[in-house]
Amino acid sequence: MKTKSRRSFLRKSTVLLVGGFTAWQSVLRNAAADSRTTGQIARTNSDAFVLPSLPYAYNALEPFIDEQTMRIHHDRHHRTYVDQLNKVLDKAPEWKGKNLEQLLSQLSAIPETVRTAVRNHGGGHWNHTFFWNIMMPSGGPLPTGKLLDALQARWTSYAAFQTAFTEAAMSVFGSGWCWLIADKNQKLSIVTTPNQDNPIMDIAAIKGKPVLGIDLWEHAYYLKHQNRRAEYIKDWWQVVNWPKVALLYESE
Ligand code: MN
């Protein structure tokens, strides 16, 4: 990133105040910067959103998530959300300077003519950027520390949490997401959202700070697992980046 755009990116980051999640957003961004991706959920100088690179190779999550799925999911699906978001914002110039988190947390204030498109494509861009970052090649350590304490406080054990999360993910009808979120008191809950909605949206039934999330659209698993969502979820547990989830949980 050029110095000028970096400076402008940083300035925009420091003025972000969305639901008190500023530090948490910066964790996600820094994590992305660490992995040499640039422009995460930020904009370029031209005020257009950009598709971030994956923080690992396309085949890094094999054999649990296959390379072809990752290529199509990132290069085509995620790119389409970014492109369509930029396109719709051309029709709402007063919203063009906003950061993605600002857009999603103020959907009700966005003109009706573009609101649904911002919700779907902006949500798609945020969700996928988040999703890439909470996965890692297999062999990551299971939760420890404060995150494990919070999981045990709510579900008794890590295994019981995993069962509850899997059941919630299986219960999503059609396309959507299942999330682990923290409230202002750092209490954890499992919530599901339809389509590309997420818990940072002002219109979400239950809002909170996402610390883990799984994409339940068939495009996330159909090539390898066909219609077998349960097998996809089982494989996905093997690639959860628990150190990153813990960082997100512990950020304010
Ligand atoms: Mn997806």
Dist. CA 226 → ligand 1 center (Å)? 15
- Mean pLDDT for the stretch of residues 191-209: 98
Dist. CA 71 → ligand 1 center (Å)? 11
Q: Which residues pair with 163 in a beta bridge?
A: none
pLDDT at 199 over 50: yes
Per-residue pLDDT tens over the stretch 97-156: 899 999 999 999 999 999 999 999 999 999 999 999 999 997 778 999 999 999 999 999
Looking at residue 143, what DSSP letter applies?
Answer: P
Provide the pLDDT for residue 163. 98
Dist. CA 128 → ligand 1 center (Å)? 6
State the helix-helix crossing angle for 22-34 and 3-14, rounded to 10 degrees.
150
pTM of the model: 0.85
pLDDT at 2 over 50: no
**Binning pLDDT at 50, 70 and 90, where does residue 47 land?**
confident
Q: What percentage of the chain exceeds 90 in pLDDT?
A: 79
DSSP code string of 9-36:
HHHHHHT--STT-HHHHHHHHHHHHHTT
Provide the pLDDT for residue 38. 34
Dist. CA 197 → ligand 1 center (Å)? 12
Question: Residues 168, 192: contact at Cβ < 8 Å?
Answer: yes
- Mean pLDDT for the stretch of residues 55-79: 98
Dist. CA 57 → ligand 1 center (Å)? 17
With CA atoms as reference, report the closest residue to 202 among 128, 91, 119: 119
Provide the pLDDT for residue 28. 54
Identify the residue with better confidence: 15 or 104.
104
